[in-house]
Amino acid sequence: MLPTQVLLDDEVTKLSAEAENGGFGMLPRHIDFVTILAPGILSYQLVDGPEEFMAIDEGVLVKCGPEIRVSTRRAVRSSNLETLEHAVRQEFRTQDDREKATRSALAKLQADFVRRFLDMGKVSRE
């Protein structure tokens, strides 16, 4: 799950990921647990399908009963590691550019607010 969409909602038979304390794998009937995911590649085997890959930013994995839920800020999905690398570079670069533009706009709004607030103080003293 991403903040704006569900990127994957399929049944899988195995999952491999990287946590802050090392890599791990999960098969059906794995015990329930929660872990913090490190940025990296999450791989999974679709039921009756191929192995797929997802590059993720840091996130949280929750395994409860038969369901595994992963929440991350950014992720890119692909069935091929080579195309995943290209897609990650493109997607993360675009998101980084958007975040820089947003931070810049916010800084301008804050500066304008402070300037107007200071101008109000000058008017009230006159």
- CATH assignment at residue 25: 2.60.15.10
pLDDT-derived band at 69 (thresholds 50, 70, 90) equals very high
SS3 for 105?
helix
Tell me if 2 is assigned to some domain. Answer: no
Residue 22 falls inside a structural domain: yes
Q: What is the mean pLDDT of residues 77-81?
A: 86
Residue at 83 is within a domain: yes
| Range of the structural domain that residue 43 is part of | 12-125
DSSP label at residue 36: E
Q: What is the total count of domains within the chain?
A: 1
Residue with the bigger pLDDT between 95 and 47: it is 47
Classify residue 73: in a domain, yes or no: yes
Query: Is the whole-model pTM more than 0.85?
Result: no
pLDDT band at 100 (very low <50, low <70, confident <90, very high): confident
At residue 123, the pLDDT reads: 63
| The pLDDT of residue 5 | 92
Per-residue pLDDT for 126 more than 70? Answer: no
Q: Is residue 100 part of a domain?
A: yes
Quote the CA–CA distance of 114 and 108 in Å, as a whole number: 10
Give the per-residue pLDDT at 68. 94
Q: Is residue 92 one of the residues assigned to a domain? A: yes
* Closest to 15 (Cα-Cα) out of 40, 90, 4: 40
Looking at the predicted structure, is the pLDDT value of residue 124 above 70?
no
Q: Which two tokens stand for residue 35?
A: 């872990």
Of 24-38, 55-69, 74-88, minimum mean pLDDT range:
74-88
